[in-house]
Amino acid sequence: MLNAVDNPALTQRKRYYERIAAYNLTPLWEVLHALVPPSPATPIVPAIWHYAEIRDALMESGTLITAHEAVRRVLILENPAVRGQSRITQSLYAGLQLILPGEVAPAHRHAQSALRMVLDGEGAYTAVDGERTVMRRGDFIITPSNTWHDHGNPGTEPVVWLDGLDIPLVQFLDAGFAESSDTDVQAESRPQGDALARYGHNMLPMDFTQTSADPTRVFVYPYTQTKAALLGIARSAPDPHFGHKLRYVNPATGASPMPTIGAFAQWLPSGFETVPYRSTDGTVFSCLEGSGTVEVGGKSLAFNENDVFVVPSWHTYRLQASSDTTLFSFSDRPVQQVLGLWREQKLPKPS
- Is position 97 an interface residue for ligand 1HN (rule: CB under 6 A)? yes
What helix, strand, coil percent values describe the chain, rounded to 5?
Answer: 20, 30, 50
Part of the chain binding ligand 1HN (CB under 6 A), chosen from 26-34, 160-168, 222-230, 333-341: 160-168
Interface mask toward ligand 1HN for 257-296; x: CB under 6 A: ----------------------------------------
55 vs 72, which CB is nearer to ligand 1HN? 72
- Is position 128 an interface residue for ligand 1HN (rule: CB under 6 A)? no
Query: What are the strands of the beta sheet with 114-120, ordered from one edge?
Result: 74-76, 93-99, 159-165, 114-120, 140-143, 220-221
93 vs 317, which CB is nearer to ligand 1HN? 93
Q: Cα–Cα distance between 113 and 40 in angstroms, integer? A: 25
| # of chain residues touching ligand 1HN (CB under 6 A) | 11
**C-beta atoms surrounding 2 within 10 Å:** 9
72 vs 247, which CB is nearer to ligand 1HN? 72
With CB under 6 A as the contact rule, the residue among 74, 124, 255, 310 that binds ligand 1HN is 74
**C-beta atoms surrounding 151 within 10 Å:** 25
Quote the DSSP letter at residue 281. Answer: S
Bridge partners (DSSP) of residue 96 are 75, 162
With CB under 6 A as the contact rule, the residue among 114, 196, 263, 288 that binds ligand 1HN is 114
Part of the chain binding ligand 1HN (CB under 6 A), chosen from 159-167, 191-199, 204-212, 241-249: 159-167
With CB under 6 A as the contact rule, the residue among 13, 72, 136, 227 that binds ligand 1HN is 72
Q: Cα–Cα distance between 257 and 217 in angstroms, integer? A: 9
Part of the chain binding ligand 1HN (CB under 6 A), chosen from 161-169, 234-242, 268-276, 334-342: 161-169
Q: How many helices (H) and strands (E) does the chain have?
A: 8, 22
Bridge partners (DSSP) of residue 296 are 299, 317
Q: What angle do CA 340, 343, 349 make, to 5 degrees?
A: 165
- Is position 149 an interface residue for ligand 1HN (rule: CB under 6 A)? yes
Residues at the site binding ligand 1HN, with contacts judged by CB under 6 A: 72, 74, 95, 97, 110, 114, 149, 151, 163, 165, 167
